[in-house]
Amino acid sequence: MNILVCGAHGFIGSALCASLERRGHRVVKGVRHATHADEIQIDFAAPPDSLTLRAQLDGFDAVVNAVGILLEHGEQTFDAVHVRGPIALFDACQQAGVKRVVQISALGVETGAAPYFTSKLAADRHLQSLPIDWQIVRPALVYGTHGTSARFFRALASIPLHVLPAGGHQRLRHVHADDLAEAVARLIDARTPARQTLDIVGGEEVEYREMLAVFRRALGFAPAPSMGMPAVLVGGTAALFEHVPGTMLTRDTWRMLQSGSTADVAATTALLERAPMGIRDFIAQDEAASLRREALEAWRSYALRFALAVMWIWSAIVSAWLHPQAQSLALLARVGLHASAALTALYAASALDFTFGLATIFWPGRRLWCAQIALIVAYTAIIAIALPDLLTDPFGSILKNLPILTLLLVLLSEEVRP
């Protein structure tokens, strides 16, 4: 069969293309920017006119719409990508005589109030109203090694303390991308009854807290302690975080998590003619080590930078305003700085510390880490020579420079050159 997969460069779309090609189908990829012979340009954010779209669909036996966004960005809005674009595609499929159309929707659209759900449902409803053979697939959360949500959940699992929203009792039944791709391939088959709406889920239902524990164990980590976060606090945090570019926590994603992502597995089992994979089978032993490193890399540098930024900023505030100035000036006198020179050095050092703190948050990079290392080494050398008694401070105020230098060396070694 000649099959067009829209959204072919996406996580789900790429899995669908690979599955269909393995079955011997000729697959053409609908993408935003076509650069290869097996691609055509179909951009739902700026869809072509109906005549152009109708002409693009000539000769296709089936069309799969796997286009979707979790968060809006610029022209990529729910109305454009989930509603107007798909509706134009479905109408063109009817006009072009496409034999079968498969819409990848989402589990929970019938009851979910988030714009993600309501926009998906609008396209589903339009497709159901057309006199063509259609299949609507509503998958639960889709797991795949390279999926954005899968990476996010693995990163959360790798953190040594699990913060559980509202106790982490949300029910989930992840479906593996390979099982979803196989289900869609079977629905494209002309022998499969048409005009079906199917929930596609995985083989095992778990709570959110269990999901983190399963992923953590599969990645080779020891069990992590956990703490609950009240729902109202999660909602407030989501309201703040949704203004951060690239965030996965917004009020909409929090509402989606609260509603859960699970359904009866019977329809999936019947379609696949076998039980779908369960969450404990998702991470293969031979990929656990690389996924473990990837999970740690997702948050480790942020944690280190946060600790560094707090250290620099707090040092600046304490030195400039909180610590008794007379004691600071007495120490500076021992290194040969007096009167105005001492005050200038005190406030200049505080300003430099504060600048380093801000730069650690907003402008991290190799030059910054090197500058911080140089300053700490210089501070330590001056103190060791001029104030040797501080080396034997019972609180180790100078010795603590060693772990800070180690932290900076870790950041420096992991920095990727542009």
Kindly report the CATH number assigned to the domain that includes residue 21: 3.40.50.720
Pair (275, 340) in one structural domain: no
Pair (136, 179) in one structural domain: yes
User: Looking at the whole model, is its pTM more than 0.75?
Assistant: yes
Pair (35, 167) in one structural domain: yes
Pair (206, 328) in one structural domain: no
Pair (303, 279) in one structural domain: no
Residue 229 amino acid letter: M
Pair (368, 259) in one structural domain: no
What's the DSSP call for residue 12?
A: H
Place of tokens 């009817």: 94
Confidence of residue 376 (pLDDT cuts 50, 70, 90): very high
Confidence of residue 87 (pLDDT cuts 50, 70, 90): very high
Domain encompassing residue 362: 299-414
The answer to whether 216 and 286 are in contact (CB under 8 A) is no
In a domain, 142, yes or no: yes
Pair (328, 204) in one structural domain: no
Dihedrals phi, psi of 175, to nearest 5 degrees = -110, 135
pLDDT tens track for 50-85: 889 999 999 999 999 999 999 888 889 999 999 999
Is the pLDDT reported for residue 418 higher than 80?
no
Counting the structural domains of the chain, the total is 2
In a domain, 200, yes or no: yes
Pair (340, 267) in one structural domain: no
pLDDT at 347: 97
CA–CA gap between residue 276 and residue 271 (Å, rounded): 10
Confidence of residue 417 (pLDDT cuts 50, 70, 90): low
Pair (320, 381) in one structural domain: yes
Residue 270 amino acid letter: A
Alpha helices, DSSP H, located in 97-244: 115-129, 148-158, 177-188, 208-218, 231-241
pLDDT at 231: 95
Burial of 95 (0-12, 13-18, 19+ CB in 10 A): middle
pLDDT tens track for 339-362: 999 999 999 999 999 999 999 999
Helices and strands, counts by H and E, the chain: 16, 13
Pair (51, 88) in one structural domain: yes
Pair (132, 262) in one structural domain: yes
For the record, the structure tokens of 380 come out as 């330590």
Closest listed residue to residue 246, CA positions, set 76, 114, 72: 72
The answer to whether 174 and 142 are in contact (CB under 8 A) is yes
What's the DSSP call for residue 287?
A: G
Is the pLDDT reported for residue 413 higher than 60?
yes
Is the pLDDT reported for residue 289 higher than 80?
yes
Confidence of residue 308 (pLDDT cuts 50, 70, 90): very high
With pLDDT > 70 as the criterion, what percentage of the chain qualifies? 100
For the record, the structure tokens of 316 come out as 């600046």
Mean local confidence (pLDDT), 84-93: 96
